[in-house]
Amino acid sequence: MTYQFNNQAREIEINKYSTPTPWMNYLSNGTFHTMISQAGGGVAFYRSPQIWRINHYRFFHLPTDRSGFYTYIKDGGDVWCPTNEPCKTKPETWKAAHGMGYTRFEAGRNGVHAVATYFVGKYENALIWNLKLKSETDKKITLFPYVELGMMEFMRELQWQCYNKHQLSAYAIDDVLVYRYGVETQPKPEETPLVYFAADVPVTAFDCDRDEFVGAYRSEENPQNVEAGGCTNSTLYGGDPCFALQIDLELKAGEEREVNIFLGTAMTEEEIKRCVSHCREKGFVETSYAALSAQWADFLRKFQCELPDADVQTMVNIWNPYQAERNFQFSRNISYYATGTFRGVGVRDTAQDILAMVPFDLCRAKDKLNLLLGQQYRDGHCNHYCFPIEGWEPLARIHSDNHLWLVMAAYHIVMEEGTLDYLEEAVDFYDGGSATVWEHIKKSIDFTMANLGEQGFPLMLASDWNDMLYKVCREGKGESIWTSMQFGTVLHQIAELADRMGENGQKYLDIYEAQKKLVNEKAWDGAWYRRCITDDGTFIGSAAEPQAKIWLNTQSWSVISGMGAYGKAAMDSVKQYLDTDLGIKKIHPSMMTDYPTKEGNLTCYNKGCGENGSVFCHANTWAIIAECLLKRPERAYKYYHQLLPMVAQAKAGEWRYKAEPYVYSSNIFGPESDKFGLANVSWLTGTAAWMYLAVTQYMLGIRPNWDGLEIDPCLTAQMLPAKVTRVFRGCTYHITITKNERAFIPHETGREEFEITI
């Protein structure tokens, strides 16, 4: 087995470095971040990977997963790395483990044993490499910690490297290496940090010039200075920089030596001195690590369960909330698949990510939603994505769904908190003026009402949730049936909020009824709901069409919105046409590149890939929720279980699936592809937040509402009995579910513990 879960330690242990793709982890303190693989490859950045990236990471190029955070161990003529990569000489014993905010490697060769733990602590903006070394015999070894630096702006590097590289410098201040990104055209020079590299043991020599350290026609596999046994104290004022240290160590038989390396950022040389001396203080690394563990324990304790299904338990207690938190933080910015070059904070995606943060940290959820509300215009629409750190102009495209997700996120916050206080907070509009959160979300409704199409559904505008649909509406006339259902869902939510705010909720319910009528009269196709209407009035997603006849989203949301008079039949069609036993396809059959017309084709994706007939995991979550609302636990469990990453990976096979078995991917190639089962775009995907909601709020059925905690489970025998601990409004609820029966626990102020068995 390539891996095993160690749930006690909240880790996944990986026994083989050559996984089919890099299996990543994210280490972060909210300011300094590192993505690191099971083989030590990865990339570090300060706040933004677009403008403050620290090291090179070569996406998709061969050799894969380079460069990274390596420590060469030179033991006589032998050179190897605890990360396994990038040396040809491999450790004799090796395993890696990804945990909550840290990654650890344990390796041994020729009687030398190394444990290398990487993490980013909360006290300094630095990636800490904690190395523990032991030898079976007395030995003198040399360590060479190494990072290949790059230009901080990756896109500028690709375009302007030949000139701008001569504006970089890397040098030593005593035994601390410093890198300065001096490029004159950078967007925020006054906020650009210096980067430092230091050890907490004496350093014999260093290198800052990559070519000096690595040598000609070599790579990180066999740097020449490592082979030669020593660094050459090269500095770099123009060229290709790196950080390399030479640390000579004497190991006494059986005795453990600890070496810490710090790759960090600070604004000035003075500050670097302060940071490094702080890092070098006795106990600093230990305290930082303990704080990290405590922080994750505190985060995760807010929802823990005991279930007979071990895989579900692993996901619910550990990896799903962990992944959801990383999504909340990084949006869709940087992963092994996304290069971190152009996507900022997407309003649509982030608003959905907020839903999973709400039960864990209301402050962070509110701050993020306020950021998104700040992208809203006075007429109610909002920017598509923004760049709060980089300061670039937002992408101002108007989509039919973005502003409506804001209503849903605000609703979740209010229900978690049980007060209307948040709705009274003031947030500026993007185009000037300020309003309360409540006024903002009412504008969302107004905007959709002001942008209904000829048939009465919301105009598609620049697409709805499904990006691919941008082509059906070039003339501005296309309409989205799915957005009507999303609209319906949030109309119910805002109607409830309006009543609580002492306003007229009924007016929203009236709009709901009108949209509902449309959905059932114009969008019902006979066995499912149609998807959208093109500029020229063609209904996409109909049995009468030659391709893409049935689409998942309008079936699941017909139930979620409560609008679908034929919701049950629609979900039966999902089972019949879209379910593959390895997830539910988004559309069936996949399209050719001539549909609906050659000129106005919806997609260039190959059949079964990505947006065209793959298993789009994000959308699968809504089918699970719909089945729960229909009270069909067997179906809900099937749809949920088959997409658990470890289950899907085992079914498809490790090499076919490729991605991590501990986090969700965005999509999996469908059966119309010859690579059915290949998972793509793992880690950063809306699947994380919604899977979490699907299992906790719909299958386990534990949902906050205004008056308290509602328990409305929809579980099969595999999931029973389910024991859940849920922290809600300051009280810890111990809930045992033995059957699918509804219960309600009214909230009582001051109550600290509560136990209930259903």
Q: How many residues bind ligand GLC (CB under 6 A)?
A: 12
Stretch near ligand GLC under the rule CB under 6 A, chosen from 217-225, 343-351, 596-604, 656-664: 343-351
Rounded distance, CA 253 to CA 312, Å? 45
Give how far the C-alpha of residue 136 lies from the chain's centroid of Cα atoms, to the nearest Å. 42
Helix (H) or strand (E) holding 493: helix 481-500
Task: Output 353 or 712, the one with its CB closest to ligand GLC.
Answer: 353
Ramachandran sector of residue 310 (left: φ over 0; alpha: ψ -120 to 50; beta: rest): alpha
Helix axes 269-279, 284-300, angle to 10 degrees: 80
Q: Per-residue x/- mask for ligand GLC, residues 685 to 724, rule CB under 6 A?
A: -x--------------------------------------
Give how far the C-alpha of residue 593 lies from the chain's centroid of Cα atoms, to the nearest Å. 31
Stretch near ligand GLC under the rule CB under 6 A, chosen from 70-78, 230-238, 342-350, 433-441: 342-350
Site for ligand GLC in 604-623 (CB under 6 A): 611, 618
Site for ligand GLC in 247-266 (CB under 6 A): none
CB of 340 to ligand GLC, least distance (A): 14
CB of 348 to ligand GLC, least distance (A): 5
Task: Output 622 or 728, the one with its CB closest to ligand GLC.
Answer: 622
Task: Output 164 or 402, the one with its CB closest to ligand GLC.
Answer: 402
Stretch near ligand GLC under the rule CB under 6 A, chosen from 217-225, 344-352, 444-452, 571-579: 344-352
Rounded distance, CA 126 to CA 276, Å? 10
Q: How many CB atoms lie within 10 A of CB 224?
A: 14
CB of 683 to ligand GLC, least distance (A): 12
Q: Alpha-carbon Rg of the chain, whole angstroms? A: 27
CB of 610 to ligand GLC, least distance (A): 9
Stretch near ligand GLC under the rule CB under 6 A, chosen from 103-111, 286-294, 459-467, 491-499: 459-467
Rounded distance, CA 430 to CA 447, Å? 15
Of the residues 466, 484, 486, 680, which one makes contact with ligand GLC according to CB under 6 A: 466
CB of 341 to ligand GLC, least distance (A): 15
CB of 403 to ligand GLC, least distance (A): 14
CB of 330 to ligand GLC, least distance (A): 12
- Listed residue (736, 713, 738, 739) closest to 726, CA to CA: 736
Give how far the C-alpha of residue 555 lies from the chain's centroid of Cα atoms, to the nearest Å. 26
Task: Output 32 or 337, the one with its CB closest to ligand GLC.
Answer: 337
What is the greatest pairwise CA distance in the chain? 83
CB of 254 to ligand GLC, least distance (A): 53
Stretch near ligand GLC under the rule CB under 6 A, chosen from 79-87, 254-262, 430-438, 464-472: 464-472
Contact present, 652 and 603 (Cβ < 8 Å): no
Task: Output 349 or 712, the one with its CB closest to ligand GLC.
Answer: 349
Report the Cα–Cα distance between both ends of the chain, in Å, rounded.
38
Stretch near ligand GLC under the rule CB under 6 A, chosen from 233-241, 341-349, 425-433, 482-490: 341-349
DSSP class of residue 757?
E
CB of 271 to ligand GLC, least distance (A): 37
Stretch near ligand GLC under the rule CB under 6 A, chosen from 139-147, 253-261, 345-353, 696-704: 345-353
Contacts of 139 (CB under 8 A, 6+ apart): 75, 111, 112, 250, 251
CB of 349 to ligand GLC, least distance (A): 5
Give how far the C-alpha of residue 707 lies from the chain's centroid of Cα atoms, to the nearest Å. 32
Task: Output 210 or 348, the one with its CB closest to ligand GLC.
Answer: 348
Task: Output 82 or 686, the one with its CB closest to ligand GLC.
Answer: 686
Of the residues 666, 680, 696, 716, which one makes contact with ligand GLC according to CB under 6 A: 666
Q: How many CB atoms lie within 10 A of CB 238?
A: 13
DSSP class of residue 718?
G
Rounded distance, CA 526 to CA 515, Å? 19
CB of 524 to ligand GLC, least distance (A): 24
Give the residue nearest to ligand GLC (CB).
Answer: 467
Task: Output 349 or 660, the one with its CB closest to ligand GLC.
Answer: 349
Q: Please calculate the CA angle 282-284-289 and round it to the nearest 5 degrees.
A: 135
Q: Is 465 in the site for ligand GLC (CB under 6 A)?
A: yes
- Listed residue (62, 61, 65) closest to 17, CA to CA: 65
Contact present, 666 and 306 (Cβ < 8 Å): no
Strand order in the sheet with 532-533: 479-480, 532-533, 539-540
Ramachandran sector of residue 431 (left: φ over 0; alpha: ψ -120 to 50; beta: rest): alpha
Stretch near ligand GLC under the rule CB under 6 A, chosen from 208-216, 404-412, 466-474, 569-577: 466-474
Of the residues 66, 98, 104, 332, which one makes contact with ligand GLC according to CB under 6 A: 332
Task: Output 186 or 553, the one with its CB closest to ligand GLC.
Answer: 553
Contacts of 702 (CB under 8 A, 6+ apart): 696, 709, 710, 711, 724, 726, 735
As a three-state string, the secondary structure of 18-82 is CCCCCCEEEEECCCEEEEEECCCEEEEEECCCCCCECECCCCCCCCCCCCECEEEEEECCEEECC
Three-state secondary structure call for residue 281: coil
Task: Output 168 or 351, the one with its CB closest to ligand GLC.
Answer: 351
Stretch near ligand GLC under the rule CB under 6 A, chosen from 319-327, 460-468, 542-550, 643-651: 460-468
Task: Output 318 or 485, the one with its CB closest to ligand GLC.
Answer: 485
Site for ligand GLC in 670-689 (CB under 6 A): 686
- HSE-CB at 754 with a 13 A cutoff on CA atoms is 21
Tokens found for residue 607: 């059949």
Rounded distance, CA 26 to CA 710, Å? 34
Task: Output 333 or 697, the one with its CB closest to ligand GLC.
Answer: 333
Contact present, 555 and 573 (Cβ < 8 Å): yes
Task: Output 104 or 348, the one with its CB closest to ligand GLC.
Answer: 348
As a three-state string, the secondary structure of 465-487 is CCHHHHHHHCCCCCEEHHHHHHH
Rounded distance, CA 298 to CA 300, Å? 6
Q: Per-residue x/- mask for ligand GLC, residues 557 to 596, rule CB under 6 A?
A: ----------------------------------------
Of the residues 306, 454, 467, 748, which one makes contact with ligand GLC according to CB under 6 A: 467
CB of 156 to ligand GLC, least distance (A): 25
Task: Output 264 or 686, the one with its CB closest to ligand GLC.
Answer: 686
Q: Which residues bind ligand GLC (CB under 6 A)?
A: 332, 346, 348-349, 465-468, 611, 618, 666, 686
